Structure 1
Amino acid sequence: MIGDFEIKEEDLAGRIGIIETRHGKIETPVFFPVINPLKTEIGVNDLVNLGFKNFITNSFILKKNSLADGDIHQKFGDDLIIMTDSGAYQILEYGDINETNRAIVEYQAKIRPDIAVFLDVPTGNKDSWDEAKKTVEITLERGREIIDIVRNNQDIIWVHPIQGGTFLDLVELSAKETAKANDYGMYALGSPTVLMEKYRYSELIEMIHVAKSNVSRGKPFHLFGGGTPQVMPFAVALGVDSFDSASYIIFARDERYLTRERTYRLEELDYFPCSCPVCSKYSPQELRELSKEDREKLLAFHNLWKIREEINATKQAIKEGRLFEYLQQKAFSHPSVYSAFRSLLTLSDYLEKYDPRVKGEVKGLFLFDSSSLARPELVRHVNYVSKLSSRRNEAIIICGDRLKSPFFTDSKVKSIYSKYSKNADIYVAIPFYGLIPVLSSESFPMAQFEAPAHIHGELIEETLTLIKKMLDNKKYSKVSFIECESSVLSHIVSIYPSS
C-alpha cells in the first residue's frame, strides 16, 4: 500500500526500511539529489547513470515556468521516484515568492509526484524566539488548511515539515503538533542548512533528537538540506531516513571536492583520495585545466558518488550492527563532527531505547575508549547488573583484565567460584563493563568483545564509577577483592569503604 514503511534492519535508533510509493519501493536511508529544472549541469539521465532512481525538484519553479502540466513522470520518467519541494527554500533565501500555499499544493496534486511538501515557512537562522515561533505557527496552520487536498490525494506521500530552528522548545512544540496530523505520511525537519553550512553539527544533533522524540517512529523522517557526508550517519543513528540537498552541485560550482571525511578545495589537491570514475580518469591538475563547465560537472559527479558511497557505508554498518563503531571512526574526521559525536553520547538512553535487543547474527563488540560506554549494549549491561538483586550478604570481586573471556571457563575463576559461591555473590571486574556476574559471563555481550591492550586512565576511572553504581544498591556487608593488586583496576578497593 502506498505510504507503507517497512523496517528491515535496526541499529541504535537508525534503520534500513522500505517506503512504498506509486512508482515503486525505495530503500532508506536514501538521498534525494536536488534537480533544478532551469539548470543543466546535472540532468536526470546523469543521476540514473550514477545509480540514483530518485530525485527532488522544486514545484514552485516548475509552476512558475510552466515546465510541467500533467503527471511529472511523463516529463522525467515512469520508473523514477520523484519528490517535489514547495518553494520554501526560496522563501528562506528571498523572503517571499508571491504564491499561496494552496495553489502550490493544488499544483503538486495535479503533477502527481510520489512525495510532496506543502509550502511551509522555514525558521532558518532567526535569532528571535518570537519570530521563530511565528514560522512554527504558520507552518502548522498551512498544514491544516490544505488537509482536504491531502486526504483526496492519498496516492501521494505528503510531508509535514517541523520548524523551530535552534529553539529546541519550538522544535518540540512543532513536532508534537505535527504528530497529530495523521493524514501526512512523512515527517521532515526543516532549517538545518544554515547549521550545516557553518559546521554547527552539535546543534543539528540536538534538533533532530528533539524532533524525532516527539513524532511516531512508524513514519519515515526526512532531513531537508542534509547533503554533507560527514554528518549523515549521525543523523541516521538518530532515526533520519532520507535526505535531500543540492550540495553536490553547489560545492562543485565553488570547486569544492567532497570526501566522506571532509571537504577540500580543488586547488589544494595534488592527489585524489578516491577511485570513483572521475578520480580514476583525471588528476587534480588535469581537472583544473578543463573548462569551467566540464570541471563543475565532473566535480558534481564525484560529489554525488561520495554521498551515495556514504549512504551505502552507513547501511552496511546498520546491517552488521556496527553503527556505533562506525560513528566512532567518523568522529575524528573533523572537530565539528567530533562535537556532534560527543552530543550523541549524551543521548545514550535514547539510543538504548530504540536499539534492538536482538540482532541477526551476534557479533562481538569493538571497544575503544570511554565513548564506548555510551553504546546501548553497555548501557543495558550496567542497568541490568545495577538492578540485579544480591543473593548473598558477601560479594567477591575478581579483577579480570588479565583473564580470558568467557570468564566462567577460566580455571582460576572456576576454582574461586567452587570455593566461595555458597556464601558470596561472585563477579569479575573488567574495564568497560564494570562488574560481570560470573554465572552470566558467557552471555552476550559479556564474552563477545575486543578491547585495546592498553587502557587509559579516564576509562579506568569511569569503570570504577560504574562498579560503585553497580554495588551501591546491593548492601553487601562484606566485599572482598581477588587478583586486584596488579590489575589496571587496582584502585577498586577505594570505592567500597565497607570492605
Structure 2
Amino acid sequence: MRFTLLHTDTETNARAGLLETDHGPVETPIFMPVGTVGSVKAVQPRELIDDVQAQIILGNTYHLYLRPGTEVLERAGGLHRFMRWPGPILTDSGGYQVFSLAARRKLSEEGVRFKSHLDGSYHTFTPESVIDIQRRIGADIMMVLDECPPGDAAYDYARTSHELTLRWAARCKQRFDETACPYGHGQALFAIVQGVVYPDLRRESARCLVEMDFPGYAIGGLSVGEPAEQMYAMVEVVCAELPAHKPRYLMGVGTPENLIENIARGVDMFDCVMPTRNGRNGMIFTTEGILNIKNRKWRTDFSPLDPGLDRYVSQTFTKAYVRHLFIAGEILGLQIASLQNLSFYLWLMREARRAIMEGRFAAWRAEVLPRIRRRL
C-alpha cells in the first residue's frame, strides 16, 4: 500500500490524497460502504461499482470468522473472490464487536474470550489470532485488535484500556511482520488510536503508535455516545499528532455533516452503517436534504427521488413510487433507498475532494452543510 498526499486546504486541515493497493486505487477523502458479512446489505457488487461508484468496502473480522468461517474463505481464495468484489477491502479487527458484546466477553492481557451471538459457543481473539484471521480473509487493509471503551468511560478505565490497546498493537505488528498474505497480494496493517474523550490519553496513544511506525492510523472509540463537539475535539487532537504522509481513518462515523466536519479536521477515510441501515428504515439522504420517505406528504410527489444526483435510482424512481414500496413492504424499496444513500455519500466525498483540490473547500463546506442537513 502506498499513500500520496496531493493537496491540503489552506483554510482548514482538509486533505486530498491517493491510496494505492494491489486491488486498485482509492481517492481520498473516501467513504467505505459497510459489508459486514461479505455483503453490503441489499446492494450487489455490480451496483456498488456502476451506480454507487464505491472504491473500497469494509468487512468485519468478528462476523466473517463466525460465519462463513475462515476455512470457507480460504478455500474460496479469500473474501474478494468469495463475494466477487474486485476492489480493495478493509477489515475491522472485531474490537468494536467486543465492546458491543460487553455482557458476553471477558478481557485479559492475552486477548478476549467471547460468546458467539449466533449459537452461544465460546471463542478467543488474541492480537496474533486476529492477524491470522485477516490474512486468511485477504483484506487489503487490516486493523489491530483494540478495546473500544464506552464514550462515558471514567479516566482511570480509559487509561488502562488504551494502554492495553497499545500492547496489543505491538503484538499485532509483530505477528503481521512474521506472516504473509496466502493469496499473493499486499496487505497493510493500521493501528487504532484510543483514549475516549481525554486529550492527554489521545495524544499519548497517538504518539506511541506513531513510534511503532504503522502505514496508517485509525481513530477509534468515537461516535459511541459522546456529543459531536467532543468527537470533533478529539479528532483535532489526534490528527495533530499523526504524520501527514500517512492515511487517517475515523471508524464508524457517521452522518453527512459528521463526514464534512471531520474532513475539515484532517480525516481521509470513513465507514458507517448509517446510509444502508437508515435507508432500510425510510430515511433517505439527498442533495436537497433529508426526507422520511414514509411520510404521507410524498404520496403524490412524482418528482425524482433526488433531482440533483445523476444516478439511475435518483433520477428514475419518484418519491411517490418509493414511498409506495415502503408502505407495501416491498424489498425493492429497501434496495432503492440503500443505493440512493450510498450514492449520495460517495457523491459527497467526490465533491469534497474536488473542492479541496481546487482550493475552495471552506466555501464549499459553508454552502453545502445547511443544504444537506435540512429536513424536507
Tell me, yes or no, whether TM beats 0.5. Answer: yes
Aligned CA distance change for structure 1 residues 219 and 255 (closer, same or farther; 3 Å): same
| Conserved 8 A contact 2:287-2:372 | no
2:237 corresponds in structure 1 to 210
| Correspondence 1:179-198 to 2 at 5 A | 179-182=210-213, 184-195=214-225
| Conserved 8 A contact 1:221-1:241 | yes
Q: CA deviation at 1:140?
A: 0.9
**2:98 paired with 1:63:** no
| Conserved 8 A contact 2:257-2:373 | no
Aligned CA distance change for structure 1 residues 43 and 129 (closer, same or farther; 3 Å): farther
Q: Distance in 1 between matches of 2:35 and 2:373?
A: 31
Q: CA deviation at 1:167?
A: 2.1
1:94 corresponds in structure 2 to 101
**TM-score, structure 1 normalization:** 0.62
**2:280 paired with 1:253:** yes
Q: Distance in 2 between matches of 1:162 and 1:138?
A: 12
Query: Which amino acid in the other structure matches residue 55 of structure 2?
Result: K
**2:195 paired with 1:164:** yes
Query: Which amino acid in the other structure matches residue 217 of structure 2?
Result: Y
Q: CA deviation at 1:7?
A: 1.7
Q: Distance in 1 between matches of 2:357 and 2:144?
A: 34
Q: Distance in 1 between matches of 2:268 and 2:32?
A: 11
1:284 corresponds in structure 2 to 319
Q: Distance in 1 between matches of 2:288 and 2:217?
A: 28
1:5 corresponds in structure 2 to 3
Aligned length: 330
* Ranges of 4+ aligned residues in structure 1 off by more than 4 Å: 333-336
Q: Distance in 2 between matches of 1:158 and 1:185?
A: 7
Q: Distance in 1 between matches of 2:154 and 2:224?
A: 15
2:80 corresponds in structure 1 to 73
Q: Distance in 1 between matches of 2:371 and 2:224?
A: 21
Q: Distance in 2 between matches of 1:122 and 1:282?
A: 41
Aligned CA distance change for structure 1 residues 335 and 55 (closer, same or farther; 3 Å): closer
2:111 corresponds in structure 1 to none
Q: CA deviation at 1:206?
A: 0.6
Segments of 5+ residues of structure 1 without an aligned counterpart are 337-499
Aligned CA distance change for structure 1 residues 146 and 222 (closer, same or farther; 3 Å): same
Q: Distance in 2 between matches of 1:226 and 1:194?
A: 10
Query: Which amino acid in the other structure matches residue 239 of structure 2?
Result: K
Identity of aligned residues (%): 23
| Conserved 8 A contact 1:178-1:215 | no
Q: CA deviation at 1:77?
A: 4.0
Deviations 1:271-314 (A, max 9, x none): 54544422322232321222342211111101001101100110
Q: CA deviation at 1:86?
A: 1.3
Q: 1:263 aligns with which of 264, 275, 290?
A: 290
| Conserved 8 A contact 1:230-1:261 | no
Deviations 1:342-381 (A, max 9, x none): xxxxxxxxxxxxxxxxxxxxxxxxxxxxxxxxxxxxxxxx
Q: CA deviation at 1:242?
A: 0.8
Q: CA deviation at 1:211?
A: 0.6
Segments of 5+ residues of structure 2 without an aligned counterpart are 106-113, 115-122, 181-185
**2:275 paired with 1:244:** no
**2:302 paired with 1:295:** no
Query: Over aligned residue pairs, what C-alpha RMSD do you find?
Result: 2.4
Q: CA deviation at 1:250?
A: 1.0
Q: CA deviation at 1:331?
A: 4.7
Aligned CA distance change for structure 1 residues 113 and 335 (closer, same or farther; 3 Å): closer
Aligned to 1:68, the other structure's residue is in SS state helix
Q: Distance in 1 between matches of 2:231 and 2:100?
A: 20
2:177 corresponds in structure 1 to 151
| Conserved 8 A contact 1:136-1:163 | yes
| Conserved 8 A contact 1:165-1:171 | yes
2:163 corresponds in structure 1 to 137
Query: Which amino acid in the other structure matches residue 146 of structure 1?
Result: C
Deviates more, 1:3-12 or 1:315-324: 3-12
| Conserved 8 A contact 1:251-1:257 | yes
1:54 corresponds in structure 2 to 56
Q: Distance in 2 between matches of 1:326 and 1:111?
A: 39
| Conserved 8 A contact 2:7-2:356 | yes
Aligned CA distance change for structure 1 residues 25 and 258 (closer, same or farther; 3 Å): same
Q: CA deviation at 1:90?
A: 1.3
2:367 corresponds in structure 1 to 329
> Based on CA coordinates, which of the two structures has the bigger radius of gyration?
1
**2:342 paired with 1:307:** no
| Conserved 8 A contact 1:230-1:262 | no
